[in-house]
């Protein structure tokens, strides 16, 4: 099986006597209350999903990632993983101290060994990471909301988040790797999505399944922009069709507990490296991966992989063209496989599908399965009520 990024799977979770000893000293530590998003990042680092990271980035690591997409030791890493706080809160915290990281309710989930605190150049980060300073970009908007000062340092995970949806589909990287070994999978293709499944997805997934031992379906369930279909409907869309379109012995579904950055090319590399940590050898990269609006070129998320040597990334990107249903071919195809002109192609954007649903019309069966359309209608009704 492919090795985790950096060579080993990070594990910062403590248990037993070590955990009990740490908990005894919590009252002596300053308390820092985090958002749910930051607590999730803490947990993702702790269980090794972000291997080789062992904590929130210090200034050197942050600058290397922003400017060159590399950690200080040269390892490829495309996105800053940081913890932001206000200037007033940062002034209260001393370098070298241990800080208890808690929820807004006061429950402690981790310990930060504070090694660094610094003020980043947000304008620079926006331009390098998102390729824009436009505040209408959801990633840039989230960056603006982040605290002015970043805290860097190694983490210890003492408690896990428990009040989470999709518990049956939540698996740590080490557990996913065990499952792959149990199934005898060595070559595994991962598919990332923040959208409900449709025929184009099926086409890419089945093409990948033809050349690998198994398919790792990994829908993102972290924070997304308000216009995206809510996570519960994305998961439900897979549940209503997964047993009908795939052999159960060759598919494994695990939710991806990460917030969307909408960083396009850089986020495609990030998504690939996280799936490498799960044990996947291949990663499907389609049209405008992790994109939003018109900030990135159609295939920029594929081209970025060419900027690195194969061994630096490790996981193999499977680069697919835009797919559509061809009435002449009578099946799904891409420009690489179909000789017919656009008059024979049936394809709809997610935006157009939502427009049809709002108008009370069902998308054609060549684009979306009827069972999935029912889920989308349910989602649209829920969004309009809210």
- Identify whether 6 is part of a domain: no
Dump pLDDT digits (tens) for 289-336.
Answer: 999 999 999 999 999 999 999 999 999 999 999 999 999 999 999 999
Query: In the listed set 132, 157, 182, which residue is the last one of a domain according to the structure?
Result: 157
Strand partners, 85: 149
Catalytic, 275? Answer: no
Q: Is residue 218 part of a domain?
A: yes
* Residue-wise pLDDT tens digits, 231-269: 999 999 999 999 899 998 999 999 999 999 999 999 999
Instruction: Indicate whether 72 and 91 sit together in one domain.
Output: yes
Would residue 121 count as lying in a domain?
yes
Q: pLDDT, tens digit, for every residue of 29-55?
A: 999 999 999 999 999 999 999 999 999
Distance CA 126, CA 348 (A): 31
Helix axes 265-278, 173-183, angle to 10 degrees: 60
Strands (E), 45-107: 55-56, 83-85, 98-102
Tell me, yes or no, whether 150 and 175 share the same domain.
no
User: Domain check: are 211 and 315 in the same one?
Assistant: yes
Q: Same structural domain for residues 190 and 313? A: yes
Q: Residue 11: inside a domain, yes or no? A: no
**Residue 144: other Cβ atoms inside 10 A:** 10
Q: Read off the pLDDT band of 359 (50, 70, 90).
A: confident
Q: For residue range 210-225, what is the model confidence (pLDDT) as tens digits?
A: 999 999 999 999 999 8
Same domain, yes or no: 70 and 138: yes
For residue 335, the model assigns a pLDDT of 92
Helix (H, G, I), strand (E, B) or coil at 103: coil
Mean pLDDT of the region 367-382: 88
The pLDDT value given to residue 386:
66
What is the pLDDT at residue 173?
Answer: 98
Per-residue pLDDT at 385 exceeds 80: no
| Bridging pattern class, strands 149-157 and 83-85 | antiparallel
Structure tokens at 32: 């820092």
User: In the chain, which ranges are E strands?
Assistant: 31-33, 55-56, 83-85, 98-102, 108-118, 149-157, 188-193, 214-219, 251-253, 282-285, 316-319, 323-326, 331-334, 345-346
| Residue 8, in any domain of the structure | no
The answer to whether residue 349 scores a pLDDT higher than 90 is no
CA 303 to CA 209: how far, in whole Å? 23
Q: Given this model, what pLDDT does residue 361 score?
A: 85
Instruction: Report pLDDT for 229.
Output: 85
Q: What is the gyration radius of the CA atoms in the chain, in angstroms?
A: 21
Six-digit token string for 128: 């390098």
Domain range spanning residue 133? 16-157
- C-alpha span between 149 and 187 (Å, rounded): 42
Q: Residue 13: is its pLDDT beyond 70?
A: yes
Cα(285)–Cα(274) distance, rounded to whole angstroms?
A: 14
Q: How far apart are CA 230 and CA 142, in angstroms?
A: 18
User: Model confidence over 81-123: pLDDT tens digits?
Assistant: 999 999 999 999 999 999 999 999 999 999 999 999 999 999 9
Cα distance between residue 100 and residue 87, in whole Å = 18
| Same domain flag for 150 and 177 | no
Indicate whether 272 and 345 sit together in one domain.
yes
Residues 312 and 197 in one domain: yes
**Of 194, 261, 275, 369, which residue is the catalytic one?**
194
Mean residue pLDDT across the chain: 94
* CA 22 to the chain's CA centroid: 31
Q: Among 95, 124, 157, where does a domain finish?
A: 157
Question: Is 347 within a domain?
Answer: yes
In this prediction, residue 65 carries a pLDDT of: 98
Shared-domain flag, residues 192 and 133: no
SS3 105: coil
Of the candidates 98, 97, 56, the one whose C-alpha atom is nearest the C-alpha of residue 77 is 56
Residue 261 annotated as catalytic:
no
Say whether both 208 and 289 belong to one domain: yes
Confidence at residue 69, expressed as pLDDT on a 0 to 100 scale: 98
Do 179 and 149 reside in the same domain of the chain?
no
pLDDT at 228: 84
What is the count of structural domains for the chain?
A: 2
Place of tokens 């932001």: 84
From 157, 190, 220, the end of a domain falls on 157
Phi/psi of residue 25, each to 5°? -100, 5
Determine contact, residues 193/221, Cβ cutoff 8 Å. no
Residue 309 belongs to a domain with what CATH number?
3.40.50.620
User: Is 9 part of any domain?
Assistant: no
User: Model pTM?
Assistant: 0.95
- From the list 59, 71, 60, the residue with the least C-alpha distance to 10 is 71
Please pick, among 11, 195, 250, 287, the residue that the annotation labels catalytic.
195
- What is the domain-level CATH number for residue 103? 3.10.400.10
Q: Are residues 215 and 81 located together in one domain of the fold? A: no
Inside any domain, residue 285: yes
């Amino acid at each position: 099986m492919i090795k985790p990024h950096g060579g080993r799977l990070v594990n910062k979770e403590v248990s037993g006597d070590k955990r009990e000893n740490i908990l005894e000293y919590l009252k002596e530590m300053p308390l820092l209350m985090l958002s749910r998003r930051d607590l999730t990042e803490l947990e993702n680092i702790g269980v090794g999903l972000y291997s080789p990271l062992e904590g929130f980035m210090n200034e050197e690591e942050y600058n290397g990632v922003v400017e060159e997409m590399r950690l200080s030791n040269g390892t490829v890493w495309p996105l800053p993983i940081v913890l932001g706080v206000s200037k007033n809160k940062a002034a209260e915290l001393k370098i070298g101290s241990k800080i208890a990281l808690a929820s807004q309710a006061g429950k402690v989930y981790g310990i930060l060994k504070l090694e660094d605190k610094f003020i980043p150049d947000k304008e620079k980060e926006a331009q390098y990471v998102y390729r824009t300073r436009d505040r209408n970009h959801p990633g840039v908007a989230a960056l603006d909301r982040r605290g002015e000062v970043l805290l860097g340092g190694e983490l210890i995970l003492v408690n896990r988040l428990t009040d989470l949806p999709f518990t049956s589909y939540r698996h740590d990287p080490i557990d996913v790797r065990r499952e792959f070994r149990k199934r005898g999978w060595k070559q595994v293709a991962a598919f990332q999505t923040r959208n409900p499944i449709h025929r184009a997805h099926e086409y890419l997934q089945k093409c990948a399944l033809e050349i690998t031992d198994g398919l790792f379906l990994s829908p993102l369930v972290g924070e997304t922009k308000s216009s995206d279909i809510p996570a519960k409907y994305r998961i439900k869309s897979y549940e209503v069709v997964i047993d009908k379109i795939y052999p159960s012995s060759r598919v494994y579904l695990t939710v991806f507990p990460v917030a969307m950055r909408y960083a396009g090319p850089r986020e495609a590399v990030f998504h690939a490296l996280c799936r490498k940590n799960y044990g996947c050898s291949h990663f499907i990269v389609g049209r405008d991966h992790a994109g939003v609006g018109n900030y990135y070129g159609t295939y920029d998320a594929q081209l970025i992989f060419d900027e690195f040597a194969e061994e630096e990334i490790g996981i193999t990107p499977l680069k697919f063209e835009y797919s559509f249903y061809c009435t002449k071919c009578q099946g799904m195809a891409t420009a690489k496989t179909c000789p017919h002109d656009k008059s024979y192609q049936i394809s709809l954007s997610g935006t157009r599908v939502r427009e049809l649903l709002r108008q009370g019309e069902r998308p054609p069966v060549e684009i979306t399965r009827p069972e999935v359309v029912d889920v989308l209608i349910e989602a649209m009704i829920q969004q309009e009520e809210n």
